[in-house]
Structure formats: structure tokens, C-alpha cells
Structure 1
């Protein structure tokens, strides 16, 4: 599954590995200016004390078929850029909304890895489907109403724990489902890479260098 616009047309289920794929196709330079302009405009609007209903619309930009438009604008952007970062936050929320049971199961499986990361992610305990949807919505809300870098670090922690859960499931499946275990391991690696990109973006934001 890729980040292409075609992929995101009314998807039924969006797996964790969706976050780590690159957008194929069109020349990134062709859309670069539009991607950066829209990303900066949306962040500026969201962080300028807008009315609650406007903020709600910003949070729900990727709901329904909105992800299609965002994919066309942002999916080819560098992971460590403002449009690339926003893309990952919106895809994360949409993916969790579409398969909350799977995401919550993976999150729970990864919780034993690092207590500090669990605290940073800030998911209510016990973390069920409702709780993981709520935290991804809270992350996006925090990106607009709170410390943007902290929101990115929270998203990164969430991704790291899901990646750890995938790795744990891969270990369990290795003896009887080798191909599935390999797929989980690769997806875990890529999602962990997404987490690292989010942390890098947070650091760039703090230096006023996230463009």
C-alpha cells in the first residue's frame, strides 16, 4: 500500500505501515511550493486562536475523502518538513480511526518495552480502541493549540509503541507464519523510522527551522 491519492479513496482499513510509505508518481518539485504554502497557512490558522468550530474542521481535514486532497498536496514532501509532518499526523489519526481495534492491540503489545514512552504517548489506561482514537485526535489538537513539538513527540511515542507491538507479534508468529512475521518486522522497522522523523521534526520546530 502506498501514499498515492488513489490508495486513499474511501479506504476500508488503513494499516500501521501506511505511515511509512513514500508517495510515488509526480515530481515532488512540482508540488513543493503549494505543499509548503498550504501547510504553513493551516498551522498559522490553527495556532491563531480560532473558534472551536474552525479548529474542529482543521482536525477533521482528513476525515471522509479529505485525505485524498491532502495526499495530493503533502504526501510527496520530505518527512522532516512541515507538510510532511502534518501529513503523518493526519494519516496517523485516520488510520487509527479506520482500524482502532488493531492499533490498540498493537499498542498494548508494545507497552512493556518502555514505560517512559508510554507516559509520553499519553494514552488512557487500559488503551482500547476508543482511547487510541482519542489520543491521535488529542495529538492533532495539541499541534494547533499547544506546543507543536510536544505534539510531534507524543505522536512519535505512540508510533514507537505500535512498532514495538508489531515486533512482538512478529516474534510470536515466526514459528508458524514466517511470511507474516517478516511483514510485521518490516512494518515495525518502517513505523519506528516514522517515529524518528517526527522527533527530528520536533527538534527542527524548536529551532524555527521546520519548513
Structure 2
């Protein structure tokens, strides 16, 4: 299975790099849409993150996630981008993107991986994820502060107030957990770019 994962990843990348047919690029771009994520997962999801199939799996998952959650990600980007000052230029996203901008960026990153500089595409993807993580942290901090303020300013610490404060704290914790998982993805993508530049991504 490992050999098949590597063979299919390299075959796909090489095939697109050797063609200037936009229809071929479009078919590769929408591979998950047409074949289903389970089919691609069967090929690549078990591959190590420092391999070509492992990196391609993360890129396809990222595109799917960006297109399905474009509105939420646009909001998180607007929260995180002011902290990451150079992120818009690197990722190719406006400082205040719409959901359509996020969807276009998702396609642009994956297309760039196949038709442009593979390492640059990985860096763009990693930077995008980094900013989303910052946005998640900002939102988690806001929810925690809201919960704390609610308990401090309530006339009486009723069960309803306590329950709402707990809900907000739980939501904040989930956002931070999601952010930690995404941070790992960003690291894997950035490491993939580093290995590609050194000719060591296999």
C-alpha cells in the first residue's frame, strides 16, 4: 500500500506538471469532489506527513475544508490576520476576505501545487492555516473573557449563569484544541516545503 501511495502521488504530480491542458488541471483540482474523500483517503491518508502522498493528502483535505467552511474561515482570517502582518501577501488572501475569496484561495493553492512551485504552494497553505489558528485563539480568548465577565457581573451566581459560563469555557477549549491540531498541519506543510526544496520529499 505504501508503494502505491507514493507511485500514485508522483504520477499525478508529474502528469500535471508535464501538461498545459487546463482540463487536466481542473480534473486534478476536483479529484476529491469527483472520487470522494474516502477514495483518496484509502490511497494517501496513512502516508507519513513528510512524504509526497502525505503532503498531497493534507492539501486536498485543506481545500475541501476551506470550501465547506469558507464563511467561518473568512471570519477567523479577519480575526487572525492583523496579528500575522505579512500573512496576506504570503497566502494570497485579502485582509478582509469574503467566503468566495476563501474558496478561490483554496483552489489557487492546490492548483499552484500542481502547476507552479510546489514548495511555494505548501508555504501558502501553511501560512493560511497559521492565520486561522491565530483567529481561533482570539475567539477563544474572547469567549473565556465573556464567561469570566458574566460570572463577575451577574447579580447572583445562578445555575443558568454558571451553565452559560461553563458552555463558553468549553467552547473556548474546543477552539484551542482545534487550533493545536491545525498547528500540526501547518508544521507538516511547511516541513514538506522545506524537504521539497532540498529534493528530499519522497
Q: TM-score, normalised by structure 1?
A: 0.82
More helix as a share of residues: 2
Residue among 166, 178, 203 paired with 2:169: 178
Work out the CA distance in 1 between the residues paired with 2:199 and 2:28: 22
* Aligned positions of 1:1-211 closer than 5 A: 31-174=1-144, 175=147, 176=165, 177-211=168-202
Q: CA shift at 1:105, angstroms?
A: 1.0
1:102-122 Cα deviation digits (max 9, x unpaired):
111111111111111221111
Work out the CA distance in 1 between the residues paired with 2:16 and 2:73: 27
The secondary structure found in structure 2 opposite 1:105 is: helix
Count of aligned positions: 181
Q: What residue in structure 2 maps to residue 22 of structure 1?
A: none
Is contact 1:80–1:210 with CA below 8 Å preserved after alignment?
A: yes
Work out the CA distance in 2 between the residues paired with 1:68 and 1:50: 29
1:61-103 Cα deviation digits (max 9, x unpaired):
0115521211111111111210111011111111111121111
Q: CA shift at 1:198, angstroms?
A: 0.6
Work out the CA distance in 1 between the residues paired with 2:197 and 2:67: 29
Greater radius of gyration (CA): 2
CA RMSD of aligned residues (A): 1.2
Q: CA shift at 1:199, angstroms?
A: 0.7
Q: TM-score, normalised by structure 2?
A: 0.86
The secondary structure found in structure 1 opposite 2:79 is: helix
Q: Which stretches in structure 2 are left out of the alignment for 5+ residues?
A: 148-164
Q: Which stretches in structure 1 are left out of the alignment for 5+ residues?
A: 1-30
Is contact 2:78–2:95 with CA below 8 Å preserved after alignment?
A: no
Higher mean displacement: 59-68 or 78-87: 59-68
Is contact 2:126–2:187 with CA below 8 Å preserved after alignment?
A: yes
Work out the CA distance in 1 between the residues paired with 2:35 and 2:79: 31
